[in-house]
Each structure stands twice: as structure tokens, then as C-alpha cells.
Amino acid sequence: MLHIWGAREAFICDEHFSIVHNGGIAFEENVDKILAVGEYDTLCSQFPNAKMQFFPQGVLLPALINAHIHFEFGAHFAQFCYGDFGTWLDSLMDSRDEVLHIQNTYFESILTQGINEQINAGVGSVGAVSSYGYDMSALALSPLRVVYFNEAIGSNPSAIDFLYANMLERLNNAKNLSSPTFTPAIALHSPYSLHPIMAQKLIDIAAKDKLPLSTHFLESAHEREWLTQNSGYFKTFFQRFFHIENPQSFYSPQSFLDMLSPLRDTPLSLTHCLHIKEEEAKSIESLQASIITCPRSNRLLNNAFFSRSHLHNKQIPLALGTDGKSSNNNVNLLDELRVSLYAYPQEDILALAKSLLLSATLYGAKALGLNNGTLSEGKNVDFAIFEFSQPLFYPNQSRPNQSPLQFILHAKTPSHLYINAKAVL
């Protein structure tokens, strides 16, 4: 059965943020490939036998992409301390068990809540960072399109063999679950927490198997101080928690980025990057990597928002994520968009709104290596319809079309969501 779905405004989410007034898309039910995109009326005459639906006060856009989320930390409420990364990490080390090791059925319900929070915000795809693999089967069975980043962590040489074996086991389990909506991938936790021997082996696997790879990078001032001067919070962190007398950083910011160079042709993303400088931005650009920003997490843990000037006028794609509930009050990407809008008061608000919506669609797809995030022929059938009580824009008035801005302000939950050519809402 052919379908045509249309709305008063279709946000195509291409590089130019094209909007088709009375636009639509055509696709075959359960065939995960958009057949055509254009004006709704034209599509209807092109495919006269299709089932047609039009939303006169709606917006049609690609299903949103939450490029960085930790579902496993979904039970966190208020145990961790905010305001400084070191204080947060200390509190996480202290209270991690009470957040993670909860009764099985409660943990399952936490995962379901996290998944539903995505769907109810119009999110179709996620970059899910998993520290333990506890969320693997729930995500594989969910309607979401998931890039599943098995996270590697561990700096103590004597524990590396065990941690690496555990990582490979999780990665293999994820590979066995591979499907059009579940892509196995690798996360290197961060330069301060991962031994280079393990990092190098995993980079080789990602390059060979063409797996997406993601890493937290230069999130805090403490991390920059540690990587550049071997001092500060992380020095005492390794002394306190690992009893290393004179700990040394494994990398400089540059040597960590250099290690990623075999990944130029695979989807590569660096999350946070609050403390990168111009030279790191240049290297990230030449790696053809994406940056993922998680604004509310950054405010809570590091008192800062990402500097958009590092994007070199969009030469580096910027994707958007909520991070986990370990550093956020919820994992709603629409709320993340709203906060982002207020985080950059020096930018033109309409241009910013368009750019943020591209971060939540087109650039999220780039960061995760997905074939969606934009409405165009051949892309996956992942789209959302949001309906509003009034139109967001009247084209006959001589005002600029601010519907992208109005959308961010007012969008609550989609009335329809398709993922993988299947109705989810």
C-alpha cells in the first residue's frame, strides 16, 4: 500500500533548511525508502491510488535524532552533585551502585520509560552509549533506530585484559543483534579513562568493520589540565581511587585525535568538546568527524555551553544529544532544543533555530552514520508529524517565516511517528 503524508509545512532538513509549504512524502508501507518528496498535491496526482493524509495545521519533518544518551543511568534522580565535573564524578563513583543496581523489574521499567520519552518527543534514532550492556536487548527490541555504542573504559594495565574481553563480548552480542534498526558500534569513554592499548585495538576493529565510533572529549577544564599538564583534579582522582602514586596522562589532546585518524571514512563523533581550542577544531575537521553537544548536561556539570565558533562556519557538523539522566532532568530532545535556543543569545534567533533543528536531524544522522535525518528520495522512512492548535505561519503575510523557531517553542509530542516505514505513534 502506497502512502502520502503531507502537512502545511514540511521541514526538509537539508543543508539550506528548505521548507515546502503544503509539502509531503510518498512511500510504500513497510518499505524503508522514501519514494518522493515535494508538494502534497503534486504527489497526490503522481500516485493517485495512494492512501493520502494531510495535516492543515501540522509540521512534517524527519524523525528527530538524539545522538548521545545513556539509557542505563535512567534511574538517576538527584543523587549526583552538579556544578563542577570533579564533584559530579566523585558523586557518581560514590552512588553509582544505588543508581545501577536496582531491582530487575524496576530497571526494565526505567529503560522502557527512557525509550518512550524518545518516541514521545518525536525521536526516531538514538546514539545509545552503553557502559555495561544492560540496555542492549531492550533497545534492540524497541521500535527506535539504535546505534549502540558499547563503551570501553579502563586505565589500569592489570585490569585491561579482563575489560577488553568484556568489551569484545558485549560487541559480539550487539553484532548478533544487528538489524536495519540496530547498528553495533564502539565508544571510547574518554582520553582520561582509557588505556591506549585497548583504545588502539578498538580503533582497528572500528576501521576494519566500518563501525561508528564515538568518544567523550575535552568535556571539562580538569580534563584539559590533565591532558596538557598532568595535574589537577584527575591527578588526585587516580591517586584516590586507584592508589597510583604518580599518575601520568596517556595522551595529549592532539595525540588522542591523531590516534583516531584511521577512522576518516567511518562515522566518528566527539561528544562535548567544551574545552577544545582552534588546533583541535582543525584536527576534528580534517578527521571529517562530528561534534555532539549536550547543552543541559554541559551547564550542569561544567557551567558552559559549546562554543559554536569552533564549527568553522558549519564545516564541522554539530549533532545534539540529551546525555543521560545522570546529567539531566529528563532525556527529552525537544526540551534540549528549547534550552539551546536560550543558550546563544548573541546569534540571530531564526538562523539559530534552523541550525538547531538540523543538529537534531541531518547532523545527527551524519554523526551516527544513518541514512535518515532529511526528507529526500532514497532515505529511510523515519518521519514525524506534529500538529498545533494554530498554524505556525501564514505565507500571505509579509513577515519572515519563523516556523522553525515557533516549532522549537511549541512542539510537545508528535501525533504521528514513523520509524523504519512503520507507524510507531
Catalytic residues: 219
Residue 151 binds which one of Fe ion, ligand MCF, none, with CB within 5 to 8 A depending on kind?
ligand MCF
Cβ-closest position to Fe ion: 323
Strand bridging mode 145-152 / 383-387: unpaired
The stretch near ligand MCF (CB under 6 A) out of 322-330, 338-346, 365-373, 403-411 is 322-330
Buried b (16+ CB within 10 A) or exposed e, 338-364: bebbebbeeeeebebbbbbbbbbbbbb
Q: How far apart are CA 141 and CA 5, in angstroms?
A: 27
Which span (22-30, 307-315, 323-331, 399-407) binds ligand MCF, by CB under 6 A?
323-331
Q: Which stretch binds Fe ion (CB under 5 A): 92-100, 145-153, 316-324, 336-344?
A: 316-324
Q: Is 72 in the site for Fe ion (CB under 5 A)?
A: no
Contact range with ligand MCF by CB under 6 A, out of 24-32, 177-185, 319-327, 346-354: 319-327
Q: Say if residue 225 is exposed, middle or buried (CB neighbours under 10 Å; 0-12, 13-18, 19+).
A: middle
Residue 244: how many CB atoms within 10 A of its CB? 14
Task: Cell numbers for 339, please give them.
Answer: 534550552
Choosing among ligand MCF, Fe ion, none, which partner's interface includes residue 73 (Cβ < 5 to 8 Å by kind)?
A: ligand MCF
Choosing from 323, 380, 381, 388, the residue that interacts with ligand MCF (CB under 6 A) is 323
Strands 19-28 and 2-11, sheet pairing: antiparallel
Examine residue 326 and tell whether it contacts ligand MCF (CB under 6 A): yes
Residue among 216 and 224 whose Cβ is closer to ligand MCF:
216
CB 36 within 8 A of CB 21: no
Helix (DSSP H) and strand (DSSP E) numbers for the chain: 15, 15
**What 8-state DSSP symbol labels residue 154?**
B
Interaction of residue 155 with ligand MCF, rule CB under 6 A? no
Q: With contacts defined by CB under 5 A, how many residues of the chain interact with Fe ion?
A: 1
Shortest Å distance, C-beta 324 to ligand MCF: 5
Separation between Cα atoms, residue 400 and residue 324, nearest integer Å = 36
Of 8, 170, 216, 354, the one binding ligand MCF (CB under 6 A) is 216
Q: Does 323 bind Fe ion (CB under 5 A)?
A: yes
Cell readout for 50 is 495512494
Name the grid cell of 391: 498554524
The grid coordinates listed for 175 are 553484532
In Å, what is the CA distance from 324 to each residue of 76, 115, 117, 309, 392? 9, 12, 12, 26, 31
Which residues, other chains included, contact 13 with Cβ-Cβ below 8 Å and sequence gap of 6+? 61, 62, 357, 358, 361, 362, 373, 374, 375
Q: Cα 168 from chain centroid? A: 23
- Candidates 18-26, 135-143, 154-162, 318-326 — which segment interacts with Fe ion by CB under 5 A? 318-326
Query: Which residue of the chain is nearest ligand MCF when measured via CB?
Result: 131
Q: Is 324 in the site for ligand MCF (CB under 6 A)?
A: yes
Interface characters, 83-122, with ligand MCF (x: CB under 6 A): ------x--x------------------------------
Q: Tell me the closest approach of the beta carbon of residue 129 to ligand MCF, in angstroms.
A: 6
Residues 4-23 that bind ligand MCF (CB under 6 A): none
Q: Which does 327 bind (CB under 5 to 8 A by kind): Fe ion, ligand MCF, none?
A: ligand MCF
Among the residues of 101-217, which ranges form H helices?
104-120, 136-141, 160-176, 196-209
Interface characters, 118-147, with ligand MCF (x: CB under 6 A): -----------x-x----------------
Residues contributing to the site for ligand MCF (CB under 6 A)? 70, 73, 89, 92, 129, 131, 151, 189, 193, 216, 219, 297, 323-324, 326-327
Residues contributing to the site for Fe ion (CB under 5 A)? 323
